Amino acid sequence: MNRKLCIVLASLVFLLPAGCALLDPGPPMANVILPLQLPAGSQAERMPVQLLVARPSADGATNSDRIMALMNGYEIRALDSAKWVSPVPAIVQRQLVDALEASRRFAAVNWEESNVDDKYRLSTDIRRFFLRYDVSGSAPVADTAMVFSLVRSDTGKIVARRFVRVEEACQGNSLDAFVAAFSRAMTKTLAQTTEWVVQTLEAQPLAEGAKK
């Protein structure tokens, strides 16, 4: 009997470290911001228009604060070591506002929650915002794709629509390389989108209403 008891106690002592390891949360998850380079401001005259930037829509793979990776062309996984400081739609909305303001071409650029009488609304549908692993063992690609729509706020009519997809290869398989690739992709996306918004609204009869 004593021998059996000793065996049981020895087994419990052996298993205890393994059980504790399962409860160990490990190092805290890093919170990551998405740095980018804003488009240069224009010296042209500001247009007499206030532009509202709506919060982007996104599906389950991108509507979160997790940094997602696409594996094997169909499997979505989240990075365990880091996450964005905010959900991706909030990050994209904030950066769109910053980029459009930096262009210096609008009387004002507002958030959706501002309740200002804006004539035009910029809507965004985020289609892709993840790391894509094309080859096992290699560094991934930061794959971003968004559909932008300029909408008349008073009529709901879509004035113009544009699809922007940017792919940036990661220079390594590290968090620093991932963030740098996403930063390059968003910098290019914002530059293209800002130029498109300005050119589209310049072609609209904006000044007539402002002069009356």
Which of 4-8, 63-67, 96-100, 143-147 has the least mean pLDDT? Answer: 4-8
Three-state DSSP class for residue 161: strand
CA distance 126 to 145: 6
Give the distance, in angstroms, between the CA of residue 189 and the centroid of all CA atoms in the same chain. 11
Mean pLDDT, residues 159-179: 97
How far are the Cα atoms of 76, 103, 134, 185 from residue 151, in angstroms, in the given order? 32, 20, 36, 25
Crossing angle between the packed helical segments 175-202 and 88-102, to the nearest 10 degrees: 50
Residue 109 has pLDDT above 70, yes or no: yes
Cβ-contact 50, 118 below 8 angstroms: yes
> pLDDT band at residue 205, thresholds of 50, 70 and 90?
confident
Residue 4 has pLDDT above 60, yes or no: no
Residue 210 has pLDDT above 50, yes or no: no
Mean pLDDT, residues 2-8: 42
